[in-house]
Structure 1
Amino acid sequence: MHKSYPAPGTEIMLEGAVNFRELGGYRAADGRHVKHGLLYRGGNLDALQSAADQAVLQSWHLQSILDFRSEGERAKHPDPAVEGAEYRRICAMRMTDGTEMDFSSSGIERLAAEKAAFEKAAGHPVHDYDWFSALYKQMPFDNPAYHAMFAMLEQHQVPLLFHCTCGKDRTGIAAMLILLALGVSRQDALRDYMLTNTYRREIIEASLRGKSPEERRLLLSVEGVDEAMGAGAIDEILVRFPSYEAYFAQEYGLDASRLAALRDYYLE
């Protein structure tokens, strides 16, 4: 008898955090499905304080934790040690000079300077929404965090939990890249990305209360995710490459044989 699993993208219910889930169950183009229990995504682990949450975390039997946050974010909310799991931190968003993009309070001044330089190059003021839309389009390329992630996947360092602060942006793009590499459709990869808005609905609505429709559109991505931003990141791949397979070959060395091996391991 086959074990029964929840629908792909179902939230893992926790007392201290929302938007934790796994990638298992999504259907690939060849008819196989992503294996359950290997690939988890989430946010700050220090939110999982209760005995019940700790029991859930331990039940994943993690071998690896990959933290996409900056050092400033990690310092404010350090990941607790998880028995049996190796911890790595590699920031998944970078300044133009290659240094970490720090979303903690201590990094605000540098972020402001980075945006000012972007506006100077554009020749006009730019809303944060448009700036981040441009940043998202850069994330899939030459990103040391995602290079480390795919190396860990090839080395079968799983079960793996990858996370950032809220589990929505750096984590959301990473999840889409994994799903696309495994042959899951763009539609389903983007659907997984957008589930953040379901699981963070109360937080999002509290942040947007009283805002106009246009303000809501521009500010949604502060606490939620914006479909155009997410789509922009993965669609930029097809602007630069003839296919996702060509991108994975060029960016991560996942040629046809290595990509097939990756799929054989993570699909069933």
Structure 2
Amino acid sequence: MSQDPTRSLPMAGATNFRDLGGYVGQHGRAVKWRRIFRSDHLAGLTATDQALLAELGVTRAIDFRGKAEGAAHAYAIPGVAYHPLVIEPTVVQRALELQATGRTLTAQDAVGLMQQTYRGFVHENAPRFAELFRLLLASDAPTVFHCTAGKDRTGFAAALILLALGVPRDTVMQDYLLTNNLYRRPAGMGSHAPEEVLAVLWRVQEEFLDAALHMVDQDYGGVQTYLVEVLGVDAAAQRQLAGLYLQAAA
């Protein structure tokens, strides 16, 4: 294991940039390193960061941010094709709606809001995740996908990719929770809310991803059916995905 590449990559302008490689998927085959990366947004990347992207061979960036988020922190990276797959953020809006009723938000309120958001990914945002798979199947060119913090929209996308490659759920959850070790909240963000609420909104918890995966299980009978019937990733596409992104059998 000591010879494996590093999972987290040292970017000055992004704190949550990491590789999905190395996790063991179907038939004991590991996910290839340096093919699929997940990150927080890329608008703050320095020239050195962009040189590292080029060194990694990254030629595609998939951006899940909402329209206002993308406009506020737009970016263009030479040699990297930009693919916006817009998923509008809903947590802040729902939090503001609750506050408008005169209610003081609690950490438990925030957990509920986050779970609601993740359940929304499963149905309302399925077309964007389907397009993510279409892009991954079109080419195995090194790709980074991201949202603003690289934790929720990106976290669910990473979970779907890893599960489609046969990575066990407990390993998928471990990858998801790595955000809490890496991501650094920007200074001054969300000062309108109590710190206990911000501590929930800017981190990840098992309950968040579980809310989405439980909905997939409940509404579709499992990830496999969801991949096939909702995201259009049928058995042939899954074999192709494995061929592109899993190492050859030993």
Cα pair 2:90 2:117 within 8 Å, conserved: no
Give the whole-Å Cα distance in 2 for the aligned partners of 1:70 and 1:169: 13
Residues 46-88 of structure 1 show CA distances to partners (whole Å, capped at 9, x for unaligned) of 2112x322221211222211100011111111122231x2111
- CA gap 1:260/1:114 in 2 versus in 1, 3 angstroms: farther
Closer, same or farther in 2 for the Cα pair 1:115/1:178, shift >3 Å? farther
Conservation of the 8 A alpha-carbon contact between 2:35 and 2:140: no
CA deviation after TM superposition for structure 1 residue 115, in Å: 4.5
Contact 1:73 1:102 in 2 (8 A): no
Within the candidate set 179, 182, 201, 2:165 is matched to 182
RMSD after superposition: 3.1
Partner of 1:73: 69
Equivalent residue number for residue 26 of structure 2: 29
Deviation at 1:157, TM superposition (A): 5.3
In the other structure, the counterpart of 1:5 is: 4
Contact 1:71 1:102 in 2 (8 A): no
| Matched residue, 2:78 | 82
TM-score (norm. length: structure 2): 0.83
Q: Take 1:181 and 1:11, find their aligned partners in 2: how far apart are those partners? A: 22
| Post-superposition offset of 1:180 | 0.4
1:63 is matched with which residue? 59
Secondary structure of 2:122 counterpart = coil
1:16/1:253 Cα in 2 relative to 1: closer, same or farther (>3 Å)?
closer
Segments ≥4 residues shifted beyond 6 Å: none
Structure 1 residue corresponding to 2:175, chosen from 192, 196, 199: 192
Distance 1:113 1:226 in 2: 18
Equivalent AA in structure 2 for residue 267 of structure 1: L
Indicate how the Cα distance of structure 1 residues 31 and 74 shifts in structure 2: closer, same or farther if over 3 A, else same: same
Q: 1:113 to 1:12 in 2, by over 3 A?
A: closer
Partners of 1:248 and 1:127 lie apart in 2 by 31
Specify the code of the residue in structure 2 equivalent to 1:239: Q
Match for residue 235 of structure 1?
214
| 2:141 paired with 1:158 | yes
Q: Distance in 2 between matches of 1:203 and 1:102?
A: 18
C-alpha separation in 2, matches of 1:102 and 1:61: 33
Match status 1:168 vs 2:151: yes
Say which of 138, 141, 153 aligns to 2:120.
Answer: 138
Residue type of the partner of 1:61? Answer: G
Given that 1:129 and 1:219 are in contact with CA atoms closer than 8 Å, whether structure 2 keeps it comes out as no
Q: 2 CA distance for matches of 1:58 and 1:112?
A: 39
**Residue 55 and residue 235 in structure 1: after superposition, are their counterparts in 2 closer, same or farther (change >3 A)?**
same
The alignment covers a number of residue pairs equal to: 236
CA distance in 1, matches of 2:200, 2:76: 28
1:220 to partner: Cα distance? 3.1
Q: Which residue of 2 aligns with 1:95?
A: none
The aligned counterpart of 1:43 is 40
Give distance in 2, aligned partners of 1:163 and 1:141.
20
Query: What is the SS of the residue equivalent to 1:54?
Result: helix
Distance 2:58 2:35 in 1: 8
Unpaired runs of 5+ residues, structure 1, are: 93-99, 120-125
**Per-residue deviation, 1:23:** 0.5
**Structure 2 letter corresponding to 1:53:** D
Identity, % of aligned positions? 32
CA contact (8 A) 1:140 1:146 kept: no
CA shift for structure 1 position 203: 4.2
